[in-house]
Amino acid sequence: MNNKKVLLVVMDGVGITEEHVGNAVYNANTPNLDRFMKEYPCKLIKAHGTAVGLSTDEDMGNSEVGHNALGCGQIYSQGAKLVDESIRNGEIYNSRVFNEMVNNVKENNSTFHFIGLLSDGNVHSNIEHLLSILKKVRELDVKKVRCHILLDGRDVPPTSALTYVDELENLLSSLRDDEHDYRIASGGGRMKITMDRYKANWNMVKDGYDIHVLGKGRGFSSAREAIETYRNEIPNVIDQDLPGFVIVENNEPVGKIVDNDSVLLFNFRGDRSIELSMALTEENFEGFDREYFPNVYYAGMLQYDSEAGIPPKFLVEPPKISNTLTEELIKYNINELAVSETQKFGHVTYFWNGNRQDKFDENLETYIEIPSDNISFDKAPAMKAREITDKVIEEMKTNKYQFVRLNFPNGDMVGHTGNYEATVESLEVVDECLGRLEAASKELDYVMLLMADHGNSEVMYTEKDGVRTPKTSHTCNPVPFVVLDNSYKLKEGNFGLSNVAASVLKIYGIEKPVMWNDSIIE
């Protein structure tokens, strides 16, 4: 091992494509990024599909699987693929938890509730999983089902909610008869209710809890009526920002969650599933006043936090990620620093370390979180990029850390708003910060590595006949991998995010573990 120091920078949601229409990455004024990709060793690498453990190469990458791959140097089957396989081979229906959930509602003549993101984006959930399980519980003669739907417009087209609502309603209608009562009970946009992460906004979770559990919210006769009403009332609103709603009949909620019910959160991705899981399982919960805490049989599609055991019951085993980069660096007594703002803090810590909440070594790992603002990110597109940069440079100057990693969330979080102009501005701020980090790396003798975890901001809209169609989802485009040091050369061939960990070890002169994928650096 040598005495090298490494600064690893992740530009979240920054992919590369030759298509320039709607391309905030290309059209932003980014002299530093442009120069880096021309003057330093640079390669485009895969950040989606099978390269990050998803089912097919049509599946978009995302920050969770991207940081898993970056941090562990290997490809593990991820949430969507694990659930697909479990449903296909029937293991999910043979599981103890699933059968206990079914028996619970049958024995108590109670309701089976399904909560989750109604989407086929395959990032947090897949509607096909919900539809398959609904068919199975009907086959098992479950009498009463209620669906609490979160609207996407983020990993799928921004105003596509009714496509998924109609698909679900058609199935529920086919499953209903005089003895079987299957209905949608509540819903709302994913960025308005329920799906907060990293405890950034408990009020958002409380709003969802009140709507799903207590039936407290604006009432409508159907999900379609709710969506169409809100679209008429709120100009240019997209699905992720639609307010919550409750389906009522005779002025009463049709699907409150009460004692002895079964509740499945059918999302498979962990970060935006943990807080609701805590609210529905923890006796000594402190996130907000629940008013009423029903005694239910609650399970997640996966266990969203295996270290903390959240939730205690789940249907599909999550990937067991081991032999991470952090574990390898600890063997060599390398001191690490991880920095981001709240929105991506868990990605450079929890997901980076293989879905591990706790540190591997308290003495060798330091985490610094810069609090995110609780506003729509297009209102302040700089987010906390400058503050992250200030803190990282300050810490680099202490000479304490041999490995520093950080995440700039801007390209992803602002990109998801669908606001092209704000996304351009956000990327220009990130580029400014990249220039400062390059200078600091040279001054303090760090090798700077620059990359992204998936695409997003490079396709903000498509245009036909002068009409823009916004795109708020991730992409399947490759991402840059740049080594800001011309003494290194990159190998020929095809690589992905899982090749980055071995590249880090290559800089240190450390041989990679046998189970890791190869280094991109010669």
The residues assigned a catalytic role are 63
Other residues' Cβ atoms within 10 Å of the Cβ of residue 388: 25
**How far apart, in whole angstroms, are the C-alpha atoms of residue 491 and residue 503?**
11
Closest alpha carbon to 396 in 332, 444, 442, 348: 444
Cα angle vertex 218, ends 216, 223, to 5°? 110
Question: Do the bridges between strand 447-452 and strand 479-483 make them parallel or antiparallel, or are there none, so unpaired?
Answer: antiparallel
Contact yes or no for 275/205 (Cβ under 8 A):
yes
Amino acid letter for position 278: M
Phi, psi (deg, nearest 5) at residue 418: 80, 5
Residue 244 CB-half CA count within 13 A:
24
For residue 132, the 8-state DSSP code is: H
Residues 6+ apart with CB under 8 A from 465: none
Alpha helix stretches (DSSP H) within 364-419: 385-396, 410-413
Largest CA distance in the chain: 75
Other residues' Cβ atoms within 10 Å of the Cβ of residue 86: 21
Beta bridge partners of 407: 10
Closest alpha carbon to 312 in 325, 302, 321: 302
Q: Coil, strand, or helix at residue 78?
A: coil
Q: Coil, strand, or helix at residue 392?
A: helix
Closest alpha carbon to 244 in 202, 212, 280: 212
